[in-house]
Structure 1
Amino acid sequence: MTTRPAVVRRAPGKLFVAGEYAVVESGRAAILVAVDRYITVTVSGGERAGVLISSDLAARAVHRTWQDGRLTGAGTPADPVVAAVETVAGLLAERGLPVPPLSVSITSTLHEDGRKYGLGSSGAVTVATVAAVAAYCGLRLSPGARFRLALLATARIDPQGSGGDLAASTWGGWIAYQAPDRAFVLDLARRHGIQETLRTPWPGFALRRLPPPKDLCLEVGWTGSPASTSSLVAGLHRRAWRGSASHQKFMETSAGIVRAAVTALEAGDGEGLLQQIRRARQELARLDDEVGLGIFTPALTALCDAAEAAGGAAKPSGAGGGDCGIALLDARSPHDIAHVRQRWAAAGVAPLPVRPAPEGTQE
């Protein structure tokens, strides 16, 4: 029997720059940037039928067996790695190809001592697993096909997730992203299969590469408190906010901020971009005051205030409630950058040594 060589793929984490909460609705835009912390997935041949999954975040490896196209065995049911393997296996089955015994090994720099930074580790591991398993099994997939498989996998677990993290992890760099209609996508896959779903246009979906900001540097601060994006988004919708006048205002304002920020990035207008980041902070604060989600913690407020005092702009990245905040500061003023980092540290915010990841970082 021929032994296939192991395949290694990695995917970067991400940060939301603008458009949080709005982007969960189909066709609504957000800006994201991939960061140079990665999930790396190595796929090799397994010693027995099924899939052996190991991770540097888990005490032991878990072996799963196939049953009716799904992997069974002990572990967390909502496992993005399992969902990714199952989705690729579904595509193989439609093409009449077997799934060989697999060993899937995962390492992460999106965590420290087992704690997540809020840099999109679930999305990155899904994208990297899809890419590694597909390549090991001989599938040649475009970035778009890998993204679609990853979104199919995650939508099975949480159909509310926008997929923005998957897009940033797939394409790298700075992107403008609009979420597809996940209910449509899941229904299409159920009725017509995965291959047809990969070929069919997805309503609402759009992706556009963006240039990095001119004369501005991205600084990232970690609050030390993990947050659950899915819980915060679900909490917002449980408050009967969706469909209200406030909801409509938030969506329209968010869309205007993202459009103006995209224009500023493409024009190299640093000051214009800073203005939009400040507006995004204000709009998230207005939402938080009205709905009471807890988006702004004391640490995130201190992070934003320190950056704005230095002439920059800052906001929570993602759903807030902890995790990370971002700041854009004048790259030509290292003294101001150092002062902001000092103020963050005094407020209990840890400056993270991360930078935007370049485009096409997965292969």
Structure 2
Amino acid sequence: MTVVRRAPGKLFVAGEYAVVDPGNPAILVAVDRHVTVTVTDPTEPGVQITSDLGPTAQRHHWKDGRLGAEPYARSGFAPVLSAIDTVARLLSEHGAPAPEFSLSIESGLHDHGTKYGLGSSGAVTVATVDAVAAYRGLALSDEERFRLALIASAELDPKGSGGDLAASTWGGWIAYRAPDRIAVRDLARTRGVEAALRAPWPGFGIRRLPGPEGLSLEVGWTGHPASTTALVSGLHRRTWRGTPAHRRFVRATTDCVRAAISALERGDDQELMDRIRQARRELTRLDDEMALGIHTARLAALCEIAEAAGGAAKPSGAGGGDCGIALLAATATRDIARLRERWAAAGVVPLPIRPAAEGNPQ
């Protein structure tokens, strides 16, 4: 038996950093590059994992309900192992044995092993949950797939918002609010995965949004990978949370995101561009206050070039490298062409990326 599932990558449009607090909104868009996970019958006992990102295959064996005795991080496949373990926990609660299979990963979210910052960890988590569940005969709804993926992600690091998982699950443009990931993790540990799938998750919210029909989404890659985990962890380690500056940032960002959601729903392209500019200003102020390194020289150049072309731009995600986004009038083809030329001259790689369709493609 062979099961193939894939999940798209993502870009943050607005709401970075504030979204890590439960209930605060963000806007994300899924992109038309994917991670594909294939599960087939095993050739030997255990679970074999191969990937186009790694030179060698790994075989793991079940021990005390987990794949292998070593910490996940040492394997190089932490999100995959946590996703498999989470599905196995659900199967165990239904009286089913731990699954054994061969699993292979193909990623379109990297360039010769270098990540673009398009949410590859989130996409591989969602695709793995979906593929392993389907292999064992579990049909998951979108929300069940997301919840399993979030439980798996929270086991590794509950500081992540889960926005990447939501975009990889639902596709298209979405408004997302995060639940309390520590509470979700603890719920799954104490009451079981099935109970965590059915229980209310305070703060969590997801809703589809229409894309901006009159605007072109342009994506530029700085050529420098960034660690979202390190940047968000750096903010958590500082005495910023609960301060007046923290409250001001969250309030201003939340108001900005809500206005951007309203603009998307009304089809008001100019208002949306204004809110993108505001979101960039809020990230700049946060960076100035906390010295996180959100704005690099190339991200600054990306934004300035887009503004000069009549667009609106900002870093996408935690910053520090990876990608930035720009919105320009879709009819301004000369401005878009010039933007790409100037990005390339400034060391920013224009990526031929477009929003992915709604839904999780199989």
Output the TM-score relative to the length of structure 2. 0.98
**Cα distance in 1 for residues equivalent to 2:262 and 2:215:** 16
Task: Return the offset for 1:150.
Answer: 0.3
> Within the alignment, does 1:36 sit opposite 2:35 as a pair?
no
Task: Return the offset for 1:257.
Answer: 0.5
Partner AA of 2:246 in structure 1: H
Task: Return the offset for 1:190.
Answer: 1.4
Q: CA contact under 8 A between 1:35 and 1:355: conserved in structure 2? A: yes
Aligned position for 2:312? 313
> Within the alignment, does 1:70 sit opposite 2:69 as a pair?
no
**Cα distance in 2 for residues equivalent to 1:119 and 1:100:** 30
1:48-63 alignment to 2 at 5 Å? 48-63=44-59
Aligned position for 2:81? 82
Alpha-carbon displacement from aligned partner over 1:58-92 (angstroms, at most 9, x marks no partner): 11100000001101167437700000000000000
**Cα distance in 2 for residues equivalent to 1:202 and 1:78:** 28
**Cα distance in 1 for residues equivalent to 2:15 and 2:75:** 30
Task: Return the offset for 1:183.
Answer: 1.5
1:228-243 alignment to 2 at 5 Å? 228-243=227-242
Aligned position for 1:23? 19
Aligned position for 1:221? 220
Aligned position for 1:197? 196
Task: Return the offset for 1:290.
Answer: 1.2
- Aligned Cα root-mean-square deviation (Å): 1.0
1:1-363 alignment to 2 at 5 Å? 5-72=1-68, 75-76=74-75, 79-363=78-362
Q: CA contact under 8 A between 2:178 and 2:204: conserved in structure 1? A: yes
- Structure 2 unpaired stretches of 5+: none
Q: CA contact under 8 A between 2:63 and 2:69: conserved in structure 1? A: no
SS in 2 for 1:329: strand
Task: Return the offset for 1:332.
Answer: 0.5
Task: Return the offset for 1:181.
Answer: 0.8
Percent of aligned pairs with the same amino acid: 64
Task: Return the offset for 1:362.
Answer: 2.5
How many residues of Structure 1 are paired with residues of Structure 2 in the alignment? 359
SS in 2 for 1:326: strand
Deviates further, 50-59 or 231-240: 231-240
Partner AA of 1:362 in structure 2: P
Q: CA contact under 8 A between 1:99 and 1:137: conserved in structure 2? A: no
SS in 2 for 1:327: strand
Task: Return the offset for 1:157.
Answer: 0.4
Deviates further, 282-291 or 97-106: 97-106
**Cα distance in 2 for residues equivalent to 1:137 and 1:256:** 44
- Structure 1 unpaired stretches of 5+: none
**Cα distance in 1 for residues equivalent to 2:326 and 2:360:** 23
**Cα distance in 2 for residues equivalent to 1:154 and 1:101:** 21
**Cα distance in 2 for residues equivalent to 1:197 and 1:79:** 21
**Cα distance in 1 for residues equivalent to 2:326 and 2:284:** 16
Deviates further, 208-217 or 95-104: 95-104
Q: CA contact under 8 A between 1:214 and 1:269: conserved in structure 2? A: no
Partner AA of 2:2 in structure 1: A
Partner AA of 1:99 in structure 2: A
Partner AA of 1:23 in structure 2: V
**Cα distance in 2 for residues equivalent to 1:77 and 1:247:** 34
**Cα distance in 1 for residues equivalent to 2:223 and 2:53:** 18
Output the TM-score relative to the length of structure 1. 0.97
Task: Return the offset for 1:360.
Answer: 1.1
Task: Return the offset for 1:24.
Answer: 0.6
SS in 2 for 1:53: strand
Task: Return the offset for 1:188.
Answer: 1.0
Q: CA contact under 8 A between 1:63 and 1:73: conserved in structure 2? A: no
